[in-house]
Structure 1
Amino acid sequence: MTVTVQPRALTDYKTRDFRMLVDGSWVESEGGSTLERVAPGHGVTVSRYQAGTRRDAERAIAAARRAFDDGRWPNMTGAERSNLLLKAADLIAARADELAYLDAIESGKPISQAKAELGGAVDIWRYAAALARDLHGESYNTLGQGTLGVVLREAIGVVSIITPWNFPFLIVSQKLPFALAAGCTTVVKPSELTSGSTLVLGEILLEAGVPAGVVNIVTGTGPEVGSMMATHPGVDMVSFTGSTGVGRLTMANAAQTLKKVSLELGGKNPQIVFPDANLDEFVDAAVFGAYFNAGECCNAGSRLILHRDIADEVTARIAELSKKVKVGDPLDPTTQVGAIITPQHLEKIAGYVSGARESGAGIALGGEALDLGLGQFMAPTILSGVKPDMAVAREEVFGPVLSVLTFETTEEAIRIANSIDYGLSAGVWSRDFDTCLTIGRRVRAGTIWMNTFMDGASELPFGGYKQSGLGRELGRHAVEDYTETKTLNMHIGARTNWWMPR
């Protein structure tokens, strides 16, 4: 039986109206239309955004282009940019409760989780600020007495940043401060479902002193705004987080002008568990990995690959702990699993569950939507007897659905883990560190957790193999992703003329 937290009606809530940020000013869409966001956990309109048009995107790109080309941002010293980013981090911290509330009410995530994400975002901004002062090139004085080589790192230019709905503030914070640290100017398009906190970030950056045009924020849909941001010749790079399908389209659009592309896409992440693992710790991590953010997470541990000797016991223990997970009101601090982002997405999740059942999988727990009177919710769900070729084992469900597969040998576990198109992250659980390192070396994924799951730090790179994306975010090299290298080849002294006879 799922533990539920009844959503409270937002009878006294006043819908918040937002404008777009273009060239340092808050503006309305040229089309005059707006988009309304209905809170997925409460069923009432909570935000109203401008429905940006292609022309709005063009205006924002032009502003970013001017702000880059006239040098107002890239010509600052690293220390100057760092100080502004640090000031922004302090202002984010000061408004953390407001930002967390917006993310919780617009995305349906639990408020306690949203507050933790804001703490992580502040740390990322401060880390990026430090990197702004540390960005450097190389020199080569080993090329002979007549040659000196210097390699510069220069900001790539105008960057289009397109972010998803599942972590509205956290993901823009994994991109924007690093682009700014490098000296780039930007146009940001948040998801049309969860734009509120990104627009408040625009207020914060202006207050921090970031010059007009350096950060522009255009709200609207992907086909109307996002496509222009990926194809416009005035953009030098596109940084996108979202589904693999839209990532392919973004890459194809960017290819028209050969832009640099950074993509953080989908995942179908395994946790491989051996009989000698600490099962008490694993069971807790499995429940967390499956239901964190209602499973609407590219890093979700949605595939359990359990050794056959422990599969029945572990599945039963996970089911018992899952029954204690609190599902419901995103604004209740005790809630652990909030609302599903839209009714359409809830239907998609339910479709995967029914398809798995028809393919022969069993339902060890849940499997149904929850009617809590307001909003849309899904019960924590565990599917047993899943085979590697089932859709639910290969495709990203993006919901609180855990698929249990089994293996007998290490080779079989690795084969199952690597048998899909994704390679974002994975976990391995064993007291034998040889086993952990074998899995870590051979599973093709960008992050391998050993005896833990979904830990992270600003210093550690994040990104995927295969169709989970291109490039890496976070880590000390993240700022370099927003740069070009330029070689200065300097000749010293007289040079022999090529055409002269010898």
Structure 2
Amino acid sequence: MTAALTIALPPEADRDPASYKLLIGGRFVDAADGGVIERASPGHGFVVSRYARATEKEVDTAVEAARRAFETGPWPRMKASERASVLLKAAELIEMRLEEIARLDVLESGKPIAQARGEIAGAVDIWRYAAALARTLHGESYANLGEAMLGVVVREPIGVVGIVTPWNFPFLIVSQKLPFALAAGCTAVVKPSEMTSASTFVLGEILLSAGLPEGVVNVLAGTGEEVGAPLTRHPGVDMVSFTGSTRVGKLTMAAASTSLKKVAMELGGKNGQIVFPDADLEAAADAAVFGGFFNAGECCNAGSRLIVHEAIAEDFLAEVGRLTDRVTVGDPLDEGTKVGAIISAAHAQKIRDYLDGAASDGARIVRGGKALSASAGEYLAPTIVAGASSTMAIAREEVFGPVLTVLAFRDAQEAVRIANDTNYGLSAGIWSSNMDNCLTVARGVRTGTVWVNTFMDGFPELPFGGYRQSGLGRELGLRAVEDYTEEKTIQFHKGPRTNWWLG
């Protein structure tokens, strides 16, 4: 019988919960009705944070502040070099407070501390990259329209951006959106998940300290019903950038359609790692375990489907199982932990429901599959499901938990077919030493990212997003700032008019 996990309560458990106020118009304020949200740590069980709870009233006030900052404030009118300086200062301050921010994300989300530090360091890099793009944003000119005409295409900030972020990467995902909006000259209202808002409030403090003018960034904690939906449909918001589930993404698009505002969507995934017999199988097995269980599988990019050539399927599955047995599950604040807590009891039950359904459908759970007894918090054992078919829910739908489903293929064409046999199209991995296999699969899978002989590496320079129901648009990359702009054509004519209509 597996021993219960011993979860050591951190010093925060003996203190009052940290309190956070809403950031509106450059000031931290309570909710008008005095409402609050309490967040219990999923890894440790005690109430760690208390936020002022925004409602539609605060949405209106925050949007008004952002609109005022855009229409009459200095931010959109600054030189790009001046905006870049603020973003670089913000990056510096984030780096100085890295340990504090990482710890907040750990306590609120249950992710391992070593992983959280890496995420915040990655966010610092993104803020610096966005600062560089602020200075390179440019338009076009056309001097080939005739001697009397000059055409100029300029890019202008789109306006007020509503940014809605999820609970699984609280600081990293807001950093994939906000700095690029700011680099373009936009203002923003940010709604983090009501389960993991603390680090976004700290970001608000940092931005004010870095010199961001009042009202340029506003932060509201609250539920999707009370804040997310009103923000999305608000006529004063020009664009919505949303990361979350495909189901909620569809609702967000519908709400945004009432005013035909621009939307950018980074949604779900059911990503396959495809392993050929000629691959570096040791590296591929480690990547399979990493892809399946990183962040407890609560990751849109999780390699939750392991698609293995039938010639090696049995032996490869055995090796993946052995590595899975070595994955350390436990206290998120323990430096050696690889898999931390599940975000909530309700989500843990949803994962178990998928596993029960897979067993009923005839699949075999060959590792894990059970909740782990712990002195505090919600923990699930890393789980491998074998004997699945691509028609089963466990192989088609986003489980968002530490669950790896194994499928077999005969040749590259079948591997591509299995990889594409889902409504999603976010990412895929290929493991082979044969370039023909790599090219065939990379060009055949309909995903926004393909990793070849690696998995889940990320760089600010490379665009990120998905096909089909994995989203709309791209984040990061060379054109990330352009996403937060509108193109305007200006035509200059010199001399007397030549195209008289009435002669």
The TM tier, using the shorter chain, reads over 0.9
1:496 equivalent among 490, 493, 498: 498
Number of the residue aligned with 1:6? 6
What's the offset of the Cα at 1:5?
Answer: 5.5
* CA–CA separation in structure 1 for the residues paired with 2:419 and 2:467: 13
Secondary structure in 2 matching 1:280: helix
User: In 2, are the aligned partners of 1:3 and 1:323 still within 8 Å (CA)?
Assistant: no
Number of the residue aligned with 1:21? 23
* CA–CA separation in structure 2 for the residues paired with 1:4 and 1:246: 36
Q: Kindly provide the amino acid, as one letter, of the partner of residue 98 in structure 1.
A: E
Q: Kindly provide the amino acid, as one letter, of the partner of residue 8 in structure 1.
A: A
The 3 A distance-change label for structure 1 pair 364 and 489 is: same
Q: Kindly provide the amino acid, as one letter, of the partner of residue 14 in structure 2.
A: D
1:244 equivalent among 215, 227, 246: 246
* CA–CA separation in structure 2 for the residues paired with 1:483 and 1:13: 45
Number of the residue aligned with 2:78? 76
What's the offset of the Cα at 1:497?
Answer: 4.5
The 3 A distance-change label for structure 1 pair 2 and 326 is: farther
RMSD over equivalenced CA pairs, Å: 1.1
Could you report, residue by residue, the CA deviation over 1:37-63 in whole angstroms, capped at 9, with x for unpaired residues?
A: 000011100000111110001100000
The 3 A distance-change label for structure 1 pair 212 and 128 is: same
Q: Kindly provide the amino acid, as one letter, of the partner of residue 423 in structure 2.
A: D
User: In 2, are the aligned partners of 1:40 and 1:105 still within 8 Å (CA)?
Assistant: yes
Determine whether 1:156 maps to 2:163: no
The 3 A distance-change label for structure 1 pair 485 and 3 is: farther
Sequence identity (%): 62
User: In 1, are the aligned partners of 2:5 and 2:373 still within 8 Å (CA)?
Assistant: no
Q: Larger deviation: 170-179 or 406-415? A: 406-415
The 3 A distance-change label for structure 1 pair 422 and 311 is: same
Q: Larger deviation: 194-203 or 68-77? A: 68-77
Q: Kindly provide the amino acid, as one letter, of the partner of residue 8 in structure 2.
A: R
Which residues of 2 match residues 177-216 of structure 1 at below 5 A? 177-216=179-218
Number of the residue aligned with 2:263? 261
Number of the residue aligned with 1:32? 34
User: In 1, are the aligned partners of 2:361 and 2:392 still within 8 Å (CA)?
Assistant: yes
Secondary structure in 2 matching 1:85: helix
When the two structures are aligned, how many residues end up with a matched partner?
501
Secondary structure in 2 matching 1:364: strand
Could you report, residue by residue, the CA deviation over 1:46-97 in whole angstroms, capped at 9, with x for unpaired residues?
A: 0001111100011000000000001411000000000000000000000000
* CA–CA separation in structure 1 for the residues paired with 2:80 and 2:490: 21
Number of the residue aligned with 1:350? 352
- Unpaired stretches in structure 2, ≥5 consecutive residues: none
What's the offset of the Cα at 1:458?
Answer: 0.7
- Unpaired stretches in structure 1, ≥5 consecutive residues: none
User: In 2, are the aligned partners of 1:289 and 1:453 still within 8 Å (CA)?
Assistant: yes
Q: Kindly provide the amino acid, as one letter, of the partner of residue 173 in structure 2.
A: I
What's the offset of the Cα at 1:373?
Answer: 1.6
The 3 A distance-change label for structure 1 pair 335 and 3 is: farther
Could you report, residue by residue, the CA deviation over 1:107-157 in whole angstroms, capped at 9, with x for unpaired residues?
A: 000011000101000000000000111100000001111110000000000
What's the offset of the Cα at 1:3?
Answer: 9.2
What's the offset of the Cα at 1:499?
Answer: 3.5
Q: TM-score, normalised by structure 2?
A: 0.98
Which residues of 2 match residues 69-468 of structure 1 at below 5 A? 69-468=71-470
User: In 1, are the aligned partners of 2:5 and 2:372 still within 8 Å (CA)?
Assistant: no
User: In 1, are the aligned partners of 2:150 and 2:493 still within 8 Å (CA)?
Assistant: yes
The 3 A distance-change label for structure 1 pair 4 and 382 is: farther
User: In 2, are the aligned partners of 1:2 and 1:325 still within 8 Å (CA)?
Assistant: no
What's the offset of the Cα at 1:159?
Answer: 0.1
Could you report, residue by residue, the CA deviation over 1:211-260 in whole angstroms, capped at 9, with x for unpaired residues?
A: 00000001100010011110111000000000000000000000000000
